[in-house]
Structure 1
Amino acid sequence: MTAGSPSVGDEEASRRIAKLERINAALMAHVERTMDQQGGAYSLFQTAIMLEGRVRSRTEELTGLMHSLERSNAALVAAKEEAETANRSKTRFLAAAGHDLLQPLNAARLSASALSDMPLGSEALAMSAQVERGLQTIEDLIKTLLDISKLDAGIVRPVIRPVALGDLLDGIAASFMPMAERKGLRLAVRYPEIRVDSDPVLLRRILQNLVSNAIRYTGRGGVLIAARRRGRLCRIEVIDTGCGIAESERHLVFEEFYRGGGAGDEGEPGLGLGLSIVQRMATALDHALVLDSRLRHGTRVSLSVPIGASPTETMAGPAPIATRLTGARVLIVENDPATADALRRLLQNWDAEVSVHRDLAGVAERVAAGQPLPDVLILDYHLDHGACGLDVASYLRGVAHSALPVIVTTADHSPGIEADVAMIGAELMHKPIKPAQLRALLTHMLA
């Protein structure tokens, strides 16, 4: 071996050192990888702990919100029940007050009608007519307030059935024709021969209010009641050539007691309730109501009603014309003295023979005394001490062994009373009694 040349031992040592270095590098790389994995797992562990905390916090927050919402819902339910209870109480109060108010009003109207039948001077007749108009206004106000209260309380529930449109519109036009003629207005009606699906009572009330309003606020020209097909709907329109409504006021006309700037008949504004109750009834029926108007040109109010599938059926003809009731024996049972006296005077003006009693005991005494049985009965539903006028009808029908014709009068509009009256086949008239309707009904029943 020469000097400066590597020995075999040195080469072997170099190889071992190189191998150890490679092993060490591999071990270091493995350790580093292991440390990195442990660090990642630790980071994931820390992230999981943080997320769990956030989830717990959010869960507690949502739980608190749910409890708060439950408490709010409970408070809303309690407030809703309280409001409904108050609304029902208001409706019952108005119904009771309305009954007590309509009772003396009924006597006053009957007395005014009897007075107008007497030979009076022109000035007295004018005053009598003015009193009649005032009483009519009071009656309309009371009845409208009762109707609004019932609609708001949900007591009035529509009964949808097919309605012959032509008969309905012709009847409304006929009833308002005298009012239009007095003002020198034209009143026309146009319609297709169809049926519509609606509640006939509520639909008639809506259209009567619209036509009355149109005539009241129209000074010249006329009013048109028109119905047109629009697909599966019928659009019923009441169009007038009246004073119109300013654009700034249109959103107000359906509010209670809003009368606008125009004056109605004889320069007097209306009650401001007609369109308010129209909107409530249209909402109850789910009939779309649209108002369009131009100041000093006129107003159009449209009501969209579903068209019925059934063909139009012939309905009953007009009521017979009233005639005088000479010699007819009419028995009245009425516990309100003013109403009984006014009704007696009115019927005596029509040449009827009238017998007036307060209760069933008075009627029984009359029968026991051998007085002839009456031809027709006019009975107040609510008598003294909780008695009912229908008991008088049952008693006299039993004595006569026949179904004597009966008219039941009441200021109570409860559905139960209507059902009781219908059950015995009697006619129901709500107070205040309209003399013309009473006379026509009596003539028809005695024919």
Structure 2
Amino acid sequence: MAALKHTLSPSASIESELLKLLARQGWMGPVPTLASLGVIAFFASSHMSPWIWGGWLCLCAFVLFGRSAILIKLPTLTQYPESVRMRAAISLSIVNGIVHGLSLVAFPYLTDLERAVQTMILTGIGSISVVTTAGFLPISLAYLIPTLLPTVGLWTFYTLDDSSNFIGFAVAVMVFWSSAIMVVLSRDTYGLFEESFAIRQRQTDMNEKLKGALQEAESASRAKTRFLASASHDLRQPIHALSLFGGALTKRPLDEQSREIAGHMDIALQSLASRLDSLLDISKLDAGIVQATKAPFNLRLMVERLQDEFMPAAINKGLKVWLDCAADAFVNTDEILLERIVRNLLANAIKYTERGRIELCVEHKYNKVVLTIKDSGRGIPLEEQDHVFEEFYQLHNPERDHTKGLGLGLAIVKRLADLLELDLSMDSMIGSGTVFTMCLPASSVMPQTQRPTVNNLSWDSLCALVIDDEHEVGLGMKALLESMGCKVLLAEGTLDALSQAKAERPDIVLADFRLRGEDNGILTIRTIRELYRNIPAILISGDTAPERLREAEDASIPLLHKPVLVDDLEAAIAEACELEALLEPR
């Protein structure tokens, strides 16, 4: 009775799930059940009036199909409480069991064989009801009580009437015990159903919690990106001005000691710019504006150039950079982005290797070119290997020594490798160094090299319109460009720039991306291009927010990021105006 009481009052969620299960099973049972009951009607047709057995069979069909239709509809009748709908389902099973039990009226007229078949049919339908209702005991009993209990009684009664026939008594015992077993199985089945539902509920709750945690993590990531973008912009402004003034200073005649000081300033600015550019690279990759341009090139030439470039830094630490690339290796990928990956890996290898050598190996394997960078450094512990590709994660730098970088090198490597669809793997052991391996698509097409043609125009006649709302940045840009021989017009916003442009036509527009209020460099350049169509223009920005980067990308205007180094600014202006760059050897 305790089990019965428990099953009569399941939780609302269990009831809802059970109603759905009954609806899914709704149309599966009527046809085969009616066919089985037709066998009993066939037996009765030899002993009873067609009105009796035919009327009973029609009643069975009406109840079976009516019950199925109502069960299918019950889950959608949400205007009624779940408990009311469950009582309706139980009532339908009681009616169904009573109608099927009416077939026992023919029991006294049937032969023993026919009675046995009738008993098998009713028992089979009872067992199926246990399965199709997930063992919900009230529904199971609603069918078993009006069908199998009278069957047991009839077999027992007719056995007692004929004392020489013990087969009927055996059948009665078998039906009774099978009914009892069905009740036990019904209870156990429903227990499993409850347990399964509870597990699914826990999984649903866990998924909801994980979804909430993911949303919080994404929100925190967006907040971090906004913070870094804002901090980066605010830091880049004075550093950019300092870079411009420093560049202007180096172009003036200086004594040897002053030139040395200016050189150290330039090195410090380049180091700081490199760290800020790492933050910018992460923002660009997160914004999805970095596009891979794949083309065939000779990987051997790249690694030879990088070997020469990194050799001095390696020699300063007593290391060697060993290159093993016997023949040309043509690959098809983005050369600039791949070079950035290799640079970061080489820089890390030299940074974390105290003795031994760095090996660069390029070899052909099947239709791939395999690039391996191996060092004899400290190695990475196994438990840390999944974390080294995370942002700002550094090993062996608990004091956050700025000379060891920001911990973005491998994060950028991983993002770039994913962008280029490269198979990047890492193998490392403590004390045995680290090996990074990349599989690159080989190319059978020879790269076509073509030298760009540059018009040798004069810088002395160049007039540059500089728009920046930071007064010191404008003055720094003016000092630098005038030291290069240019004429400079200064403006602080779009209206001021338009007024300056109307007074004198500039040859190029250099506009800061973020100006005061709603004003911005894109608006300024578009406004001036309405006056002078196709005038060369360059955006200069300290903003690294992904949405700002996408906006600049969509405008199709060249973008330089603060702090802009002198050489980069000269090259960008020369390219935009088709001038010959005035780069000095450094």
TM-score (norm 1): 0.74
Name the counterpart of 2:213: 79
CA distance in 2, matches of 1:108, 1:291: 43
Q: Does structure 1 residue 273 correspond to structure 2 residue 408?
A: yes
Report SS of the residue matched to 1:235: strand
Name the counterpart of 1:101: 235
Displacement of 1:354: 1.9
Q: Does structure 1 residue 416 correspond to structure 2 residue 550?
A: yes
CA distance in 2, matches of 1:120, 1:219: 39
CA distance in 2, matches of 1:323, 1:44: 104
Displacement of 1:258: 2.2
Q: Which amino acid aligns with 1:104?
A: P
Q: Which amino acid aligns with 2:539?
A: V
> CA deviation digits over 1:91-120, x for unaligned, max 9?
233223222222222112222222233334
Name the counterpart of 1:302: 437
Q: Does structure 1 residue 433 correspond to structure 2 residue 568?
A: no
Displacement of 1:409: 1.2
Q: Does structure 1 residue 91 correspond to structure 2 residue 222?
A: no
Unaligned runs of 5+ in 1: 1-26, 262-266
Q: Does structure 1 residue 129 correspond to structure 2 residue 260?
A: no
Report SS of the residue matched to 1:303: strand
Give the aligned length: 401
> CA deviation digits over 1:313-358, x for unaligned, max 9?
4255479799983342222112111211111111122222222221
Displacement of 1:299: 5.5
Name the counterpart of 1:331: 465
Does the 8 Å CA contact 1:259/1:269 hold for their aligned counterparts?
no
Residue of structure 2 aligned with 1:348, choices 463, 473, 482: 482
Name the counterpart of 2:394: 258
Does the 8 Å CA contact 2:275/2:405 hold for their aligned counterparts?
no
Does the 8 Å CA contact 2:349/2:377 hold for their aligned counterparts?
no
> CA deviation digits over 1:182-239, x for unaligned, max 9?
7657686846443335x66643431221233345567899766543332343322235
Residue of structure 2 aligned with 1:163, choices 295, 308, 314: 295
Name the counterpart of 1:290: 426
Q: Which amino acid aligns with 2:507?
A: D
Name the counterpart of 1:360: 494
Does the 8 Å CA contact 1:324/1:351 hold for their aligned counterparts?
no
Which aligned pairs between 1:222-237 and structure 2 lie closer than 5 A?
225-237=360-372
Q: Which amino acid aligns with 1:301?
A: F
Does the 8 Å CA contact 1:421/1:428 hold for their aligned counterparts?
no
> CA deviation digits over 1:236-292, x for unaligned, max 9?
22356xx6224658847556442548xxxxx95444432343234435645322245
Q: Which amino acid aligns with 2:519?
A: A
Q: Does structure 1 residue 69 correspond to structure 2 residue 203?
A: yes
Over 3 Å counting, the alpha-carbon distance change for 1:239 and 1:350 in structure 2 is: farther
Name the counterpart of 2:515: 383
Displacement of 1:29: 5.6
> CA deviation digits over 1:17-37, x for unaligned, max 9?
xxxxxxxxxx7663x444333
Name the counterpart of 2:378: 245
Report SS of the residue matched to 1:433: coil
> CA deviation digits over 1:105-154, x for unaligned, max 9?
21122222222333344444444333333333333333324544676xx5
Displacement of 1:303: 1.7
Displacement of 1:47: 1.3
Report SS of the residue matched to 1:387: coil
Does the 8 Å CA contact 1:162/1:195 hold for their aligned counterparts?
no
Residue of structure 2 aligned with 1:144, choices 261, 278, 281: 278
Q: Which amino acid aligns with 1:56?
A: Y
Report SS of the residue matched to 2:469: coil
Over 3 Å counting, the alpha-carbon distance change for 1:221 and 1:74 in structure 2 is: closer
Name the counterpart of 1:20: none
Report SS of the residue matched to 1:237: strand
- Deviation larger for 73-82 or 269-278: 269-278
Q: Which amino acid aligns with 2:558?
A: E
Residue of structure 2 aligned with 1:194, choices 330, 338, 348: 330
CA distance in 2, matches of 1:418, 1:84: 24
Displacement of 1:163: 3.3
Name the counterpart of 2:84: none
Over 3 Å counting, the alpha-carbon distance change for 1:446 and 1:148 in structure 2 is: closer
Does the 8 Å CA contact 1:334/1:380 hold for their aligned counterparts?
yes
Considering fraction of residues, name the structure with more helix.
Answer: 2
Name the counterpart of 1:9: none
Displacement of 1:298: 7.0
Q: CA RMSD in A?
A: 3.9
> CA deviation digits over 1:38-72, x for unaligned, max 9?
22222222112111111122222222222232222
Over 3 Å counting, the alpha-carbon distance change for 1:271 and 1:365 in structure 2 is: closer
Q: Does structure 1 residue 404 correspond to structure 2 residue 404?
A: no
Q: Which amino acid aligns with 1:84?
A: E
Report SS of the residue matched to 2:423: coil
Q: Which amino acid aligns with 1:244?
A: G
Displacement of 1:436: 0.5
CA distance in 2, matches of 1:76, 1:183: 46
Over 3 Å counting, the alpha-carbon distance change for 1:216 and 1:56 in structure 2 is: closer
CA distance in 2, matches of 1:259, 1:322: 50
Report SS of the residue matched to 1:386: coil
Does the 8 Å CA contact 2:511/2:540 hold for their aligned counterparts?
yes
Residue of structure 2 aligned with 1:205, choices 330, 340, 345: 340
TM-score (norm 2): 0.58
